[in-house]
Structure 1
Amino acid sequence: MIDISPTENVFTCSASFKDPSTLYPTTLELSSHQLLWSARHPTKDNHTIQVPYCCIYGYEAPTPAGLDVNHQDLKDIVQNTCRDRMIKVHFVEFLFSDLKAVSSPQCTTAYFLFERRADVQRFLNLAHQLGVFPRPRRILALVNPNGGVGKAKTINDTVVQPMLEHSGLDVKVQYTEYSKHGIDVAHKIDLKEVDTLAVVSGDGLLHEIVNGLLSRSDWDHARRLPIAIIPAGSGNATATSIGIRSPIVATLALIRGDTVKLDIFSLSQLDRPRIYSMLMFSWGMMADADIESDIYRWLGPLRFEIAGFIRLIRLRRYPGKVYFLPPHHKAKPSPASTLDSSRNSSHKQDAPVVQYGHLLKDIHHKPPEPWSLLPNMPFYTMLLLLNFPSAGETIYFTDSIRFNDGVMKLWYSCETRFWKIILPFVLDLTNGKLVERDLMQNKDCGGLLIIPGVEGKPNDKTTHEVVDHEQVRSESAKKLGIYQKPGIFDVDGEVMPTARTLIEVLPSFMDITIPEWFYHEKDVDRERTALAKLKTELIKEASKRQHPQQRTDGHNQVREVFLVLFTLVTVVTAYALFFNEEHRARERMAQQI
């Protein structure tokens, strides 16, 4: 804590809130966590305006150079003299105290005219000591103009870049030009020239960036590059999970530069490149719905709900076996791994270490203890591995998930009765209670070994189409007569070949920027949690002080009503079509007889 005398942080000046044409006498104070000024209005009651430092994203101050008055008239001299003593502070204010609401934040500017130039410099020096303004950094903003519903370029032009211009940061902008371009950018980026990599898109481009950084030869250095996400896709699950729904808040978090650690999932298959995930892995109904929702991208976040309801009506079963490892279990090095490590002791690791890679090759024996088979699972309807609480803007599973605790949260179900599944998905998909129902079972894991019931050869391009009785690995699936397509492996919204897969967690492996006020009660860093709580209360207090008539954001309520109505219409239509088709089939059979 900086030791400041009671009078050193108080300034007498004139100030204006939003309107620079009218200034009122003000007492300005730089406290430990917020900017305070008491405006003495000539006709209204005096009131105090407070701006938490965590909401300030930039400022404009006069240059220290003197003014050339020899070639200016009196009016210009007066204007320049005032401008030479004025500081503009750019910050985000919240219209109501729900900090996650999309329409709550807005960009605002306050104007302060000091009595002397010396006060300007004293204010700036003290502000920098207190961390009022963002620290200098170099930003590379990667924009996907075609992501989601094509709104990324508009968000970048109207929100991100104007805020970054006031931040004083060194910013470069690059647009993606083709599929998987993000992987190439992250793989080739000069880490010495960038301090933060910002992604203006959805979870797909973020997935590419993570895989591009971790596929580099200097991956151990590249993984330490902080990543910021500006939600401009159709899903935005990652941003939603860290308290970001608005591009304004996301850009503020990017500028302020506060980061936390992020767990990464490592997914390995035999004779295939490793894939890394920061969001989720799914197999079954959720995976099919996610991938099939691409045809509804024009609907934005609603595409996931619509594809999900359609997949619920046409429910499938997915045969296979899943083995899980208890969390925080350390593997004992085998003789082979010890030999490999001794050979490569003088060389850098080409990729993050995989502890159980030998399980991919040993297809004739079940994994040894402490690996365990998920019980009573000859087949699945859905299997979901989550690193974040949300799987989309409107899909919220549970608040119990932490993205930096080194634990994988697994939910799975073998329920095939349509009526048993539809109601929980309609009523609890957005409130976090879906996983609390009997529909789904859960496990805390440190690793997973997934063996689909139907597997093709490692290089077989038709893996998804192979339906051969001899390739069904599960004996219980054979007894049930399950010889169907194995379904899709979905990794952060991208398709992965359906084959024997090993998933391990890399704890606290990368850094991601978050709002300074975002926290979770179970966070390990108690000091940061306490500070984030304080900042949250300050922002809410400032919001209520500036906007006493608090209102609520009706965006989510309207969406929920629409989803319920859409579900009812879908269910009625589906059953009508089903019974109509069944009636026609009976008529055809009767005619044949």
Structure 2
Amino acid sequence: MTSGTAEDAIDPFRDVQDVPATLAVGRNASLTLGTDALIVLDAALIESKGAGCCGLSLPGSTKTTRSIPFFSVLWAETADDGEVIIHYAHPISKTVARPQIISYKLDKPDSDQAEAWVEKLLEKAYGASQRQKRIKVLVNPFGGQGHGQKLYHKHIAPIFAAARCELDVEMTKHNGHGVEIAQSLDIDRYDVVACCSGDGIPHEVWNGLGKREDAARALNKVAVAQLPCGSGNALSLNFNGTDSPSLAALAVVKGLRTPLDLASVTQGDRRVLSFLSQSAGIVAETDLATENLRWMGSARFTYGFLVRLIKQTVYPADIAVKVEYDNKAAVRNVYRAESSKPPRTYDDRTLPPAGTGLPPLRHGTINDPLPEGWELIPHDQLGNFYAGNLAYMSPDANFFPAALPGDGCLDLIRIQGTLPRVKAISTLLAIEQHKFFDLPHVDYQKVSAYRIIPKNQKDGYISIDGERVPFEPFQVEVHKELATVLSKSGHKFEAKGV
């Protein structure tokens, strides 16, 4: 969205640089570049009663005037016969957008003026975002409720095609296939890997890129995006602001390259990259023990969380944490300072040299002695240990409202002891009401590394990005801005902050 002065707001039809804002396209029609939208003035709209063909009406406009937000404009071009053709995403409902076209013949054919006007329209529509992205599309036909392929063809592919994206589509065939594809990907051929899936395929893609000899370069160069087709769609919720496939496709088309922290999780002799979360206790069990309820969609997380809160189970562990911000006031201050900075309009990171692998582990692995200065503290009445890299974990679960994509920290939540049933239910409701951060029994910190050792349990659940891993000690450390995503803002999540 283009910012404007007070004068811009009063007069949305001002000229833009040396290109006239208005293009005459007929005796009774014109196309005008407004402040935030393309203004279509056409007397014929009265006869068609608008027909919903050109988006939403401007406040106070007549029936002859319609507007198309610049964010919804997918492509524009001129034809040899003097026709101006504009493709845009039209909202069918609050959760569905479909490509539509408007086209007009120029009143006085002037190809140079029309082409300049179209270029200015595209500049306003895309801003700093790359046009005609080269996208490797991975479709998981098994994810969520098994509708990934259908969702892609019905809601996503038409948006990409209308935006003139260059597509290479591949179906994932088995667990771990995303790792294999990313590990052998030609990173000079694609700008984006877009995953039509839940959060599992992005996890695989980042770990596949991380296995390469040029891991650092690959993770920087290729953006990873999610098009929500699974039961867990956190990546899309956080960066696209939606779990609607068509609206997410539009957000990816217009997405800005944005750095994202990744975390290394070491367990046994394994090193895994995590983009979403690590959990032990109630959240891990909620996620992993409700696999049989996938038919419920994202509601299975809410249901599972509530059931386990009421059971008042504890998950004892010894924990050592490298804390960067140790109280809620400090966390709130750093969040507000970072989120108030201007959006990053370009990727200003230096591309790592060819052959640069993953960054070395500053704190060693879980198999090494406890790092100097760390102290293992017993948590015998631990109800939940949940470290997150993103704000939203599911549509109604903004667990980490102070999370930032590139602050070099994980946000950590700990709840000590069991909660009375009424308090447990109010805790769950507080998440949906965006009041979770302020609950006095919720400990919220920003950390850069930690070690956790479960104890007094024969077996249990540990979740890394929603995937179950062995029930044994693990250690985590954050790598600041190691990966790249596409986001609407360019610097923060699409979530209500603190």
* Deviation of the 1:143 alpha carbon: 0.3
SS in 2 for 1:177: coil
Rounded Cα–Cα distance in structure 1 between residues aligned with 2:375 and 2:387: 17
Matched residue, 2:52: none
Matched residue, 2:115: 124
Alignment match of 2:447 (pick from 442, 445, 448): 445
Q: Show CA shifts across 1:441-469 (max 9, x none).
A: 1221111111222xxxxxxxxxxxxxxxx
Matched residue, 2:466: 493
For the pair shown, the structure with the greater C-alpha radius of gyration is 1
Matched residue, 1:368: 372
Contact 1:137–1:170 (Cα < 8 Å) also in 2 = yes
What amino acid is the match of 2:70? Y
Matched residue, 1:29: 32
* Deviation of the 1:373 alpha carbon: 4.6
Q: Show CA shifts across 1:159-185 (max 9, x none).
A: 111122222221111000111111111
Matched residue, 1:245: 243
Contact 2:215–2:358 (Cα < 8 Å) also in 1 = yes
Contact 1:289–1:308 (Cα < 8 Å) also in 2 = yes
Rounded Cα–Cα distance in structure 1 between residues aligned with 2:132 and 2:100: 21
Matched residue, 2:132: 136
Rounded Cα–Cα distance in structure 1 between residues aligned with 2:472 and 2:165: 46
Rounded Cα–Cα distance in structure 2 between residues aligned with 1:517 and 1:447: 25
* Deviation of the 1:409 alpha carbon: 0.7
Change (3 A) 1:117 1:150: farther
> Higher helix share goes to which structure?
1
Pairing 1:230–2:227 present: yes
* Deviation of the 1:29 alpha carbon: 2.0
- Structure 1 gap ranges (5+): 15-23, 65-83, 330-345, 454-482, 524-593
Q: How many equivalent pairs are there?
A: 436
* Deviation of the 1:37 alpha carbon: 2.7
Rounded Cα–Cα distance in structure 2 between residues aligned with 1:285 and 1:353: 32
* Deviation of the 1:254 alpha carbon: 2.0
- Could you list the runs of 4 or more consecutive aligned residues of structure 1 that deviate by over 4 angstroms after TM superposition? 3-7, 41-47, 93-96, 346-350, 516-523
What amino acid is the match of 1:38? L
Alignment match of 1:507 (pick from 471, 480, 483): 480
Rounded Cα–Cα distance in structure 1 between residues aligned with 2:422 and 2:313: 14
> Higher strand share goes to which structure?
2
* Deviation of the 1:246 alpha carbon: 1.8
Higher mean C-alpha deviation, range 399-408 or range 40-49: 40-49
Alignment match of 1:147 (pick from 140, 143, 149): 143
For residues 151-190 of structure 1, what are the structure 2 equivalents within 5 Å? 151-190=147-186
Matched residue, 2:331: none
Percent of matched pairs sharing the same residue? 24
* Deviation of the 1:492 alpha carbon: 0.9
- Structure 2 gap ranges (5+): 3-14, 48-61, 327-352
Rounded Cα–Cα distance in structure 1 between residues aligned with 2:166 and 2:447: 41
* Deviation of the 1:266 alpha carbon: 1.1
Matched residue, 1:320: 317
* Deviation of the 1:390 alpha carbon: 1.2
Change (3 A) 1:214 1:520: closer
Instruction: Output the aligned Cα RMSD.
Output: 3.1
TM-score, normalisation: structure 2? 0.79
Pairing 1:48–2:65 present: yes
Rounded Cα–Cα distance in structure 2 between residues aligned with 1:251 and 1:302: 23
Rounded Cα–Cα distance in structure 2 between residues aligned with 1:205 and 1:41: 47
* Deviation of the 1:498 alpha carbon: 2.5
Matched residue, 1:73: none
Rounded Cα–Cα distance in structure 1 between residues aligned with 2:41 and 2:380: 69
Change (3 A) 1:382 1:347: same
For residues 84-483 of structure 1, what are the structure 2 equivalents within 5 Å? 84-94=81-91, 102=95, 105-119=97-111, 121-129=112-120, 131=123, 132=125, 135-224=131-220, 225-242=222-239, 243-272=241-270, 274-327=271-324, 350-357=357-364, 360-362=367-369, 367-369=371-373, 371-373=374-376, 377-419=379-421, 421-453=423-455, 483=456
Contact 2:99–2:158 (Cα < 8 Å) also in 1 = no
